[in-house]
Amino acid sequence: MSFIKSRLRRIESASRRSYRCPECALPPDGPGRIVYDQIPEGEPEHCPECGRWLWFVIEVVRTGDSEAGGGYR
């Protein structure tokens, strides 16, 4: 009987680590969806089910004059 209990404990532990929210389908420890500059219009910032951020926004900024050798930062 203890064999069954320990096996069940291991299975439950593994399933908790790989849990994905049924609403947003994102894992709890992974990044959100990656977008450039802004979140798509009309999309929520947080998941209504688990409350985590849904988006990871990358802002692209151009500095300097392109003729003078300015670059991205």
The pLDDT value recorded for residue 39 is: 86
User: Beta strands of the chain (E only): which ranges?
Assistant: 33-36, 55-58
pLDDT along the chain (73 residues), means of 10: 76 65 82 84 88 86 66 54
Distances (CA, A) of 31 to 14, 37, 62: 20, 16, 25
pTM: 0.50
The pLDDT value recorded for residue 62 is: 79
Which helix (H) or strand (E) segment holds residue 2: the answer is helix 2-17
